[in-house]
């Protein structure tokens, strides 16, 4: 079966702009989590969605938001982009909330210039 | 501060030898500990997990050991192969109270296999 699909793979944006990233989880998976990966901070949890509800949120400013649709697909949005938002954004899907076996997509590489 | 950390940033191992990747944690309330492997250009891939009330768990060529006394986690890879070259992350989960489990990752150890 198809894995986790993230689009786009690469993105270049200008400071101050906003961006929307998309994630399609594995079919049948209902939980979607988002992570930011940078060389300095490593992998950091952004938020988790299940049944269209945000279940958990990491320590990121309100400029970072997300949502989940009824088909479990998820989007995350970053507004008023800053240079420090340049990172690999990873989406992970799991069968259910609390399932430790999360399957990650290849990520979206965001560069803010 | 970060509750999961790694002892060594890089590890070089001869092909065929066993690899041991270590991880220290500080949160005694963690429910599960998990190892992920990330190859260049790819997202992390689940390897194996261990529940906090266990000491050892084995998978295919991998063994995870948990020492709660010293809050130490290790991943042992038997007969290391070139395909094992990657960055390995330990992660821990704890419930948020809303039925959600947040993964907290360590910085990662880069494993290089020498042919």
State whether A35 and B95 contact (CB < 8 Å): no
**Per-residue pLDDT at B16 exceeds 60:** yes
Mean pLDDT of all residues in A64-71 = 97
At A1 the pLDDT is: 61
Dihedral angle, C-alpha A93, B113, A108, A18, nearest 10 °: 110
Give the strand pairing for A108-112 and A10-13. parallel
Do residue B42 and residue A106 have CB atoms under 8 angstroms apart?
Answer: yes
Mean pLDDT across chain A: 94
Instruction: Return the minimum-mean-pLDDT range out of A7-11, A56-60, B36-40, B98-102.
Output: B98-102
Classified as helix, coil or strand, A39 is: coil
Q: Among A91-100, B2-11, B12-21, which range has the highest average pLDDT? A: B12-21
Confidence of residue B1 (pLDDT cuts 50, 70, 90): very low
d(CA A47, CA B103): 10
CA distance A40 to A34: 18
* CB-closest option in B46, B99, B108 to A103: B46
- Contact of A11 with A75, CB cutoff 8 Å: no
Residue A5 has pLDDT above 70, yes or no: yes
- Check B100 against A42: CB less than 8 A apart: no
**pLDDT of res. B93:** 86
List of long-range contacts for A36-42, beta carbons under 8 Å, 24+ apart: A36/A60, A36/A87, A36/A88, A36/A89, A36/A90, A37/A87, A37/A88, A37/A89, A37/A90, A37/A107, A38/A86, A38/A87, A38/A88, A42/B89, A42/B105, A42/B106, A42/B107, A42/B108
For residue B30, the model assigns a pLDDT of: 84
Please write the tens of the pLDDT for every residue from B67-113.
Answer: 999 999 999 999 999 999 999 999 998 765 555 667 889 889 999 99
pLDDT band at A83 (very low <50, low <70, confident <90, very high): very high
Rounded Cα distance, A45 and A81, in Å: 18
Residues in chain B with CB shorter than 8 Å from the CB of A10 are none
């Amino acid at each position: 079966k198809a894995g986790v699909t993230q689009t786009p793979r690469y993105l270049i944006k200008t400071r101050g702009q906003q961006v929307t990233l998309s994630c399609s989880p594995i079919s049948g998976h209902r939980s979607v989590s988002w992570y930011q990966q940078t060389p300095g901070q490593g992998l950091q949890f952004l938020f988790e969605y299940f049944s269209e509800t945000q279940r958990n949120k990491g320590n990121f400013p309100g400029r970072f938001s997300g949502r989940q649709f009824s088909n479990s697909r998820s989007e995350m949005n970053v507004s008023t982009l800053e240079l420090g938002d340049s990172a690999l954004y990873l989406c992970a899907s799991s069968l259910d909330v609390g399932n430790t076996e999360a399957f990650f997509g290849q990520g979206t590489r965001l560069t803010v210039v | 501060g970060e509750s999961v950390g790694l002892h060594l940033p890089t590890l070089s191992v001869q092909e065929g030898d066993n690899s041991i990747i270590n991880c220290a944690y500080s949160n005694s309330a963690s429910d599960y500990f998990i190892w992920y492997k990330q190859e260049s250009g790819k997202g992390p891939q689940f390897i194996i997990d261990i529940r906090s009330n266990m000491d050892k768990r084995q998978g295919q060529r991998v063994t995870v050991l948990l020492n709660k006394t010293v809050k130490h986690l290790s991943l042992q890879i038997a007969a290391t192969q070139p395909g094992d070259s990657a960055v390995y992350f330990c992660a821990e989960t704890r419930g948020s109270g809303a039925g959600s489990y947040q993964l907290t990752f360590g910085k990662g150890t880069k494993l290089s296999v020498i042919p």
